[in-house]
Amino acid sequence: MDFSIKTIDAKSTSSAYKAIKTACIIAGVFENKKLSAVAVNLDQQGQIVAALKSGDISGKAGSSLLLRNVGDVAAERVLLVGLGTEAKTVTEKSFQQAVQAAARNLAGLGANDAVLVLPAVEGRDVAWAIRTTVIAFRESIFRTDELKSKKDTSSSGVKKLAIAVNASDATVAKTALAQSIALANGMDLTKELGNLPPNVCTPTYLATTAKKIAADYGMATEILDRKQIQALKMGSFLSVSNGTVEPPKFIVLKHQGGKAKDAPVVLVGKGITFDSGGISLKPGAGMDEMKYDMGGAASVIGTMRAVGEMKLKLNVYAIIPTCENMPSGSATRPGDIVTSMSGQTIEVLNTDAEGRLILCDALTYAERFKPAAVVDVATLTGACVTSLGHHNSGLFTRHDDAHDKLAAELLAAGKQTGDTAWRMPIEEAYNEQLKSNFADMANIGGPAGGSITAACFLERFTKQYTWAHLDIAGTAWKSGAAKGSTGRPVPLLTTFLINRAA
């Protein structure tokens, strides 16, 4: 779908909206038979009021009604969408439900173009409204039928959507639109990678994808193979790949958008392209969803694509350790002790706690870039799903001024986009659970506070820089009838970086 900005000088004439020539204009109505200002402008002959009075549309958030040949309106159709209870401004949820309803309706219209004209949202600027609209419409047309011999049936629908804004907001709106499209493209890539089966989306496939992004957007890339990883003494990372024939890859991708000497923001993404649990084998039911255990890597790659398309004026590096976790005669066993790149030794008590074993070496590798901040992203623990469900990603950082500031930036970016996170504790008391009689630490701390002890494990490898950890086990994908990658937390990460660049 093509998006554009249409500027309206609404103060110059009362007929600004009814004069718009388009196949469909989208306007809001409220409960209690109230019209938005735009709907009033369109309703010169009372047809919209009549539709409300008749009960054809309730005005509840997400309700809709399509009208044709509305008198004195240049548009061929008027699509009314409900905005809920009338107020001075619209709530975020009501706006989101309205644009989702518009997207559903436009997907089935025999029209080529449409113009969306909805009122302001309480506490949100025009950039937020544009981003929300673009993501909703792109979500409505996203398909997961790439590997089907017969593609899913889809109607042609509207191909062009113009988002109407006041003329005074034109410059901000055009910038916001470009960023929103780049963000949506990054989310789509993340979803595509996540949804691919593990026999297609291997570590090598992720490396090839990173190379393509580097080529398309002028980034530098480095792909390390097993011998190079061995030379770096990443014994912890390699221990996870011991049981599989798929070669591991260590991906580094660099967007040099800032000044040469500026310290980069480093994103680290967990890339377990299939997680069987290894010798600590997972239950069979639902194991197919362990193809999503590379959700952190996919979201980092999607974010880098968005950053490249935006030409963001910030140095952003991505580090992606990627491999499979499989059982075999050569697989790492519970009780094995491995040596990480940092020199710290780890007793592997459970081979299904493998994400932290590949991330710790990547976090040590990040030291060489002298980063401004490091954010690792991982589908790390089922315990995080138990704690936060599927609404918030878990955010973990140390508790001091620098880390509190980083946490505040990430939380704010999440609130801006609706891709929310919730801060969880990291305290010395939890480290007691990681003690080992035979190594510097164990790789698990027991079931109590499992997401916290996992973060405490990672924290031991991040002493040289400001760091945050996002556990996205509950937010990276959906199960059941709606099974599929969500594209999260690309909106949070991308907005965090946009804010940093600004």
**CATH number for 81:** 3.40.220.10
Judge whether 173 lies within some domain: no
Please tell me which residue in 356, 398, 460, 488 is annotated as part of the active site: 356
Q: What Cα–Cα distance (Å) separates residue 483 from each residue in 194, 292, 394, 486? A: 11, 11, 21, 9
Question: Containing domain of residue 313, as a range?
Answer: 184-501
Could you give the CA distance from residue 445 to residue 398 in angstroms, rounded to a whole number? 18
Same domain, 109 and 204: no
**CA–CA distance, 99 with 360 (Å, rounded to integer):** 42
Active site residue 356: yes
Q: How far is CA 218 from the centre of its chain?
A: 23
Helices (H), 219-349: 226-231, 235-240, 295-310
3-state secondary structure of 387: helix
Per-residue confidence (pLDDT) for residue 32, from 0 to 100: 85
Which residues, 6 or more positions from 183, have their beta carbon under 8 angstroms from its beta carbon? Answer: 131, 134, 135, 306, 490, 491, 494, 495
Are 154 and 205 contained in the same domain? no
Write down which residue in 118, 134, 165 finishes a domain: 165
Q: How far is CA 35 from CA 52, 83, 110, 166, 215, in A?
A: 9, 10, 26, 19, 50
Residue 179 lies in a domain: no
Would 16 be classed as within a structural domain?
Answer: yes
458 CB-near residues (< 8 Å, 6+ apart): 356, 359, 360, 363, 376, 396, 469
Q: What is the pLDDT of residue 89?
A: 74
Q: How many Å apart are CA 131 and CA 178, to the nearest integer? A: 9
Assess if residue 381 is contained within a domain. yes
| Residue 448 shares a structural domain with residue 384 | yes
Domain total in the chain: 2
> Rounded to whole angstroms, how far apart are CA atoms 408 and 395?
10
**What would the two tokens of residue 105 be?**
């309706």
Instruction: Report the SS3 class of residue 375.
Output: strand
Domain-ending residue, one of 138, 165, 192: 165
Tell me what pLDDT residue 157 has.
87
| The pLDDT of residue 9 | 81
Domain identity same for 152 and 265: no
- Do 404 and 491 lie in one domain? The reply is yes
Instruction: Assess whether 371 and 459 both reside in one domain.
Output: yes
Q: Quote the pLDDT of residue 145.
A: 87
**What is the CATH classification number for the domain harbouring 322?**
3.40.630.10
Is beta strand 271-275 parallel, antiparallel or unpaired with respect to 315-325? parallel
Q: Which of 60, 282, 415, 478 is the catalytic position? A: 282
Same domain, residue pair 363 and 482: yes
**296 and 366 in contact (C-beta within 8 Å)?**
no
Q: Where are the alpha helices (DSSP H) in 294-440?
A: 295-310, 355-365, 382-388, 401-417, 428-431
Is residue 402 a part of any domain in this protein? yes
Query: Is residue 403 in a domain?
Result: yes
Q: Is residue 136 part of a domain?
A: yes
Closest CA to 417 of 406, 425, 429, 409: 409
Round the CA-based radius of gyration of the chain to a whole number and report it: 25
Same domain, 143 and 263: no
Q: Is 249 among the catalytic positions?
A: no
Residue 158 shares a structural domain with residue 304: no
The Cα 400–Cα 118 span in angstroms is 42
Question: What is the chain's pLDDT, residue by residue, as a tens digit (502 residues)?
Answer: 999 999 988 665 557 888 999 999 999 999 988 999 899 999 989 999 999 999 999 999 999 999 999 988 999 999 999 999 877 778 999 999 999 999 999 998 989 999 999 998 989 999 999 999 999 999 999 988 889 998 877 667 899 999 999 999 999 999 999 999 999 999 999 999 999 999 999 999 999 999 999 999 999 999 999 999 999 999 999 999 999 999 999 999 999 999 999 999 999 999 999 999 999 999 999 999 999 999 999 999 999 999 999 999 999 999 999 999 999 999 999 999 999 999 999 999 999 999 999 999 999 999 999 999 999 999 999 999 999 999 999 999 999 999 999 999 999 999 999 999 999 999 999 999 999 999 999 999 999 999 999 999 999 999 999 999 999 999 999 999 999 999 999 999 999 999 999 9
Written as one string, the DSSP assignment of 134-150 is: HHHHHHHH----TT-SS
| CA 157, chain centre distance (Å) | 26
Neighbouring C-alpha atoms within 13 Å toward the C-beta of 347: 14
Which DSSP letter does residue 369 get? G
Distance CA 310, CA 501 (A): 11
| Model-wide pTM > 0.85 | yes
388 within 8 A of 460, measured Cβ to Cβ: no
Q: In this structure, are 345 and 203 located in the same domain?
A: yes
The token pair at 248 is 């591991």
Shared-domain flag, residues 51 and 153: yes
Q: Is residue 128 in a domain?
A: yes
The 3-state secondary structure of 436-469, one letter per residue: CCCCCEECCCCCCCHHHHHHHHHHCCCCCCCEEE
Are 92 and 193 part of one and the same domain? no
Structure confidence at residue 154 (pLDDT): 67
Instruction: Give me 3's structure tokens.
Output: 């998006």
DSSP output for 5-50: EEEE-TTT-TTTTTT--SS-EEEEEETTTEE-HHHHHH-TTSHHHH
